Amino acid sequence: MSTKPDMPMIRVRGVYKSFGDLKVLDGMSFDVARGEVLAIIGPSGSGKSTMLRCLNFLEEHDAGEILIEGEPLGYRVLDDGRRVRESEAEIARMRSNVGMVFQSFNLFPHRNVRENITMAPVSVKNVDKAEANDRAEALLEKVGLAEKIDEYPSRLSGGQQQRVAIARALAMEPKVMLFDEVTSALDPELVGEVLTVMQKLAEEGMTMVIVTHEMQFAHDVGDRLMFIDRGNIVEEGDPTKVFSMPESPRLKEFLHRFSASFG
């Protein structure tokens, strides 16, 4: 498939998602441009993770459309409005373009760092083993863990594991990276090393969607900030502006509570 430079990297149109009776995404629509860093904030349970997980089809949206570089993700919407589920192969192919980093790292515990990073390129994209290995070494260098290449995940600190997880996702050469509260499970002194890596990625022009509670980071690294609550986008725009002049009462209250609890 050729890339479509005129299309945004991500386009979300009227996405709804419920778990049983619980409506979690209530018609979300937004775009993420190529190279843009979108930071998403919001109260716990507001649907941030669900939205992010929809962007690589780990959650399946009930209605609406998600396009990655113009290509529909998960479901193709026909002219008559019917939705057709894509094949497993097609879904996997789309996912291989979208990297994801989880709160709980989710490294493969039975494989060492090198194998964690080379596994997907070799088995999914048929990258040559030697080449995948070179790439793993380069990526580990980049996240500052070159000397850990032969360690097993259980021997690494949380911050190190998370940096390996970032390297693992980058090894697939994704067009977009998704981050779901990737520093929330870390001891405070380990947060910085992970954020530094993410900042570097952003500066290199990676398209990123970052769900975070690190307000300072969202402010500094985000090109755009989105505040969601109860499955709706309540406010979005330039981070400095949104933080300094929040308009909606809900965002005001949210920021107030945050500054109260975090000083």
Partner 1 sequence: MFDVLIANLPYLMKGTLQTLWLALVGVGLGTFLGTVLGVVSAMVGGAVAALIATYVFVIRGIPVLVWMFLAYYMLPQLGLMVGDVTAVIGALILYTGAFVTEIARGAVLAVPRHQTEAAKALGMRKLTMLRLVILPQAVSLFIPPLLNNSVMMIKATSYVSVVGVWELTYAAREVVERTLAAFQIFLGVMLIYFLICYPLTLAARFLEKRYSYEH
Beta bridge partners of 22: 19
Stretch that binds Mg ion, among 41-49, 77-85, 132-140, 216-224 (CB under 5 A): 41-49
- Decide: is 107 part of the binding site for partner 1 (CB under 8 A): yes
Here the tokens at position 92 are 């996997």
Whole-number Å distance between alpha carbons of 14 and 16: 6
**Minimum distance from CB of 151 to ligand ADP (Å)?**
31
**Minimum distance from CB of 255 to partner 1 (Å)?**
31
**Minimum distance from CB of 117 to partner 1 (Å)?**
10
Here the tokens at position 74 are 């998960």
- Decide: is 257 part of the binding site for ligand ADP (CB under 6 A): no
Residue type, 129: K
- The single residue among 89, 130, 245, 260 that binds partner 1, judged by CB under 8 A, is 89
Whole-number Å distance between alpha carbons of 108 and 117: 10
Strands, E assignment, the chain: 10-19, 22-32, 37-41, 63-68, 71-72, 75-77, 83-85, 98-101, 176-180, 207-211, 224-229, 232-237
φ/ψ bin of 112: left (φ > 0), alpha (ψ from -120 to 50), beta (otherwise): beta
Contact assessment for residue 144 and residue 193, using Cβ atoms and an 8 Å cutoff: yes
> Running DSSP on this structure, what letter comes out for residue 20?
T
**Minimum distance from CB of 99 to Mg ion (Å)?**
18
- Decide: is 50 part of the binding site for ligand ADP (CB under 6 A): yes
- Decide: is 24 part of the binding site for ligand ADP (CB under 6 A): yes
**Minimum distance from CB of 170 to partner 1 (Å)?**
11
Residues in region 151-170 near partner 1 by CB under 8 A: 168-169
Residue sitting closest to Mg ion (CB): 49
Stretch that binds ligand ADP, among 46-54, 69-77, 136-144, 246-254 (CB under 6 A): 46-54
- Decide: is 49 part of the binding site for Mg ion (CB under 5 A): yes
Which residues are at the interface with partner 1 (CB under 8 A)? 56, 58, 88-89, 92-93, 95-100, 102, 104, 106-111, 119-120, 123-125, 168-169, 172
